[in-house]
């Protein structure tokens, strides 16, 4: 039964993920039926396409960094802090994964947009602009931090707190890990 499920999931991944990517790459390398790098030369020769690529990479790096920081902070607080209702907060941290992305983006616009409830009606801000890189970073970070949270939550649950306490008793500080830790 397990083998059948693994094979079915693998087949679906190949059909719906790997095959389309391979097909797009092959079509881009054979635009007129012959092998050519003309498509990529064109893409790299246009300044606006290069800028789009730079912006996408910049957004990805910022969101990955901030999402990991927020996910770690949330996981650390839930695993090492004395917070009531931890189960509730664990479930709330996973909410962005199951909610439709469109609804989340729409709610951010309705709350923080130019005529947003928070920005215009509560705070009275006039020059606040959620559109652009800052808004994308906010929405993407809040939407993606649960992935980092789930991974880091599992890691922190697997680490015995007695090991940390022993290290502190031997002179380690919370801010600086042990020397051998950097090699892990």
- pLDDT on residue 183: 45
Mean pLDDT of the chain: 87
Burial class (CB in 10 A: 0-12, 13-18, 19+), 61: exposed
Containing 41, the helix (H) or strand (E) segment is helix 38-45
User: What are the pLDDT digits (tens) for 79-90?
Assistant: 888 888 989 999
Contact 94, 144 (CB under 8 A): no
> How far separated are the first and last CA of the chain, in Å rounded?
36
Domains and CATH numbers, the chain: 7-45 (no CATH), 47-160 (1.10.3720.10)
User: What are the pLDDT digits (tens) for 56-75?
Assistant: 999 999 999 999 999 999 99
Instruction: Give me 161's structure tokens.
Output: 């707190």
Alpha carbon separation from 19 to 12, 34, 35, 78 (Å, rounded): 10, 20, 19, 40
- Enter the pTM of the model: 0.74
Is the pLDDT at 179 greater than 90, yes or no?
Answer: no
CA distance 120 to 113: 8
């Amino acid at each position: 039964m397990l083998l059948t499920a693994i094979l079915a999931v693998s087949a679906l991944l190949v059909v719906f993920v790997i095959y389309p990517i391979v097909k797009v790459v092959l079509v881009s390398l054979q635009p007129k039926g012959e092998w050519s790098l003309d498509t990529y030369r064109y893409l790299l020769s246009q300044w606006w396409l290069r800028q789009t690529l730079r912006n996408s990479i910049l957004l990805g790096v910022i969101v990955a960094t901030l999402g990991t920081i927020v996910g770690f902070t949330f996981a650390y607080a839930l695993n090492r802090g004395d917070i009531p209702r931890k189960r509730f907060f664990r479930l709330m941290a996973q909410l962005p994964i199951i909610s439709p992305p469109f609804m989340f983006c729409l709610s951010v616009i309705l709350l923080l947009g130019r005529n947003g409830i928070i920005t215009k009606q509560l705070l009275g801000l006039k020059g606040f602009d959620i559109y652009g890189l800052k808004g994308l970073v906010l929405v993407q970070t809040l939407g993606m931090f649960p992935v980092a949270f789930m991974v880091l939550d599992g890691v922190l649950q697997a680490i015995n707190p007695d090991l940390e306490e022993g290290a502190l008793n031997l002179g380690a500080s919370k801010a600086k890990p042990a020397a051998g830790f950097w090699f892990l």
